[in-house]
Amino acid sequence: MSETWLPTMMTSSPQEGYELAVKLSRMAVKLTQPDDSVRQKLRAEYETDAGFLISVSSVVATNFATVAAANNYWRTD
């Protein structure tokens, strides 16, 4: 992947941080499986499976913790 899609992990709010965490999670899937047609086919399997959806939430939560730490937990001086 040659284009820069993550110029910074700094966000102005927890909401923006969470949105970045979701993007990080989605990009990991896209980089792992670059074929869009395969991703579309697999989506039908996981979009109705509670276990898969819970796993997705776990990945997003981990990424959110990373973003929050990078933003010093949005503390102000």
Structural domain boundaries enclosing 53: 35-70
The dihedral region occupied by 59, where left means phi > 0, alpha psi between -120 and 50, and beta the remainder, is: alpha
| pLDDT for position 70 | 93
| pLDDT for position 49 | 94
In b/e form, how buried is each residue of 37-60, taking b as 16+ CB within 10 angstroms?
eeeeeeeeeeeeeeeeeeebeebb
Model-level pTM? 0.85
| pLDDT for position 1 | 58
**Residue 21 is assigned to a structural domain of this protein:** no
**Residue 60 is assigned to a structural domain of this protein:** yes
**Residue 46 is assigned to a structural domain of this protein:** yes
**Residue 40 is assigned to a structural domain of this protein:** yes
pLDDT tens digits, residue range 2-54?
689 899 999 999 999 999 999 999 999 999 999 999 999 999 889 999 999 99
- Where is average pLDDT lowest: 40-44, 54-58, 72-76? 72-76
**Residue 49 is assigned to a structural domain of this protein:** yes
| pLDDT for position 52 | 94
**Residue 39 is assigned to a structural domain of this protein:** yes
* Structural domains of the chain, count: 1
